[in-house]
Amino acid sequence: MKVIAVNGSPRKKWNTARMLESVLAGSKSQGAETELVHLYDLNFKGCTSCFSCKSIGGKSYGRCAMRDDLTPVLERIAVADALVLGSPMYFGCVSGEMRSFLERLLFQYLRYTKENRTSISKPLRTAWVYTMNCPEAFISRVGYDKYFKQNEQLMRFLGSEKTETLYSCETLQFEDYSLVDAEMFDVEARQKRHREIFPQDLQKAYELGVRLAKAE
């Protein structure tokens, strides 16, 4: 069992990364081999619509023809058993790097056919992990629940029948709020939540990792 987690945050030791590390720790507890990929370490672009992955009989049919730092990552994902995607929410969406990654990951497998819409040969178990400023009570008010469901549906192109979604709300953005222009936040309440609730979110992430790696 190989589980790969992809971090769409520019920070490698903060909320999203820690959640993904907990997921992988849970998978590792079940004997899985794990890998954490930081997208902001890579030099790559989103899809350029070359359509080489759609050219029947072409040497790149069913896989992205672009060659950059993302190429070996896509190759490792193609032979993995489970994939976990993690991103902070920026302006109601995943980060730009995560979006570019999704274009490259998913479009190569998309088939313009009436049935069997994916060309992936090995279905993946999948999960999404999000971190955000948004309070949990606002999730449906701002439409995040619909956005999360949409991203779950996209995982069908990876052959995933069921995708789990986990999110951590009102996360701690800064170590020292006094140094930044952020007076709208109740710093004490945010720090208290980080001490008390974020560890619970990490435990949920760990349990998610266990479920991903458990033999059915």
Cβ–Cβ under 8 Å, residues 39 and 8: yes
- Long-range contacts (CB closer than 8 Å, 24 or more residues apart) made by 95-98: 95/8, 95/9, 95/10, 95/39, 97/8, 97/10, 97/39, 97/40, 98/6, 98/8, 98/39
Please report, rounded to a whole number, the percentage of residues in the chain having pLDDT higher than 70.
99
Q: Which of 2-6, 105-109, 192-196, 205-209 has the lowest mean pLDDT?
A: 192-196
Q: Does 216 have pLDDT greater than 90?
A: no
Q: Does 147 have pLDDT greater than 90?
A: yes
Cα 34 from Cα 26, distance rounded (Å): 10
- Please measure the distance between the N-terminal and C-terminal CA atoms of the chain and give it in whole angstroms: 12
At residue 171 the predicted structure's pLDDT band, cuts being 50, 70 and 90, is very high
pLDDT mean over 59-75: 94
Q: CATH assignment of 2-213, given 3.30.390.50, 3.40.50.360, 3.30.300.20, 3.10.580.10?
A: 3.40.50.360
Give the start-to-end residue ranges of the domains of the chain.
Answer: 2-213
Q: What is the pLDDT of residue 215?
A: 62
The total of other beta-carbon atoms located within 10 Å of residue 66's CB is 19
Q: Does 36 have pLDDT greater than 70?
A: yes
pLDDT mean over 104-114: 89
The total of other beta-carbon atoms located within 10 Å of residue 197's CB is 15
pLDDT mean over 46-64: 91
pLDDT mean over 172-187: 82
DSSP string for 149-202: HHHHHHGGGGT-S-EEEEEE-S----S-GGGSS-TTS-HHHHHHHHHHTHHHHH
